[in-house]
Amino acid sequence: MDQFKELVEGQVVRSLSGRDKGKFQIVIKLLDNNFVQVVDGKRRKLERPKLKKTKHLQKTNSVFDMTYVTNDSHVRKLLKEFMNDKEAH
């Protein structure tokens, strides 16, 4: 279970449980070892991120620089490119 301690801000994760199960999201804030805040730009926007337990997330190797992400359309664009890239392989 050490993989959850390696989460970083800007990392793309897939939800393993809840209403958003199977959806890709981006970690925007690490709260502690058990909780992070995630957004997807559609249902969960930057103004109201979702609190998620790290054990309910599957991490990926993709990490985005969140310093330049200022709006939800940019988040959606990043996730769309990520999903299209993963589906192509």
Does the domain at residues 2-88 carry the CATH identifier 1.10.1040.10?
A: no
Predicted confidence (pLDDT) at residue 53 exceeds the cutoff of 90: yes
Q: How far apart are CA 88 and CA 40, in angstroms?
A: 21
Tell me the per-residue pLDDT of 12-51, one tens digit each, with 9 for 90 and over.
999 999 999 999 999 999 999 899 999 999 999 999 999 9
pLDDT confidence of 57, banded at 50, 70, 90? very high
As a whole-number percent, the residues of the chain with pLDDT over 90 amount to: 71
Extract the tokens encoding 47: 């103004």
Cβ contacts of 4 within 8 Å, gap of 6 or more? 33, 54, 55, 57, 59
Residue-level pLDDT at 88? 42
Query: What is the C-alpha separation between 55 and 34, in angstroms, rounded?
Result: 7
pTM, to two decimals: 0.84
End-to-end distance of the chain based on CA atoms, in angstroms? 27
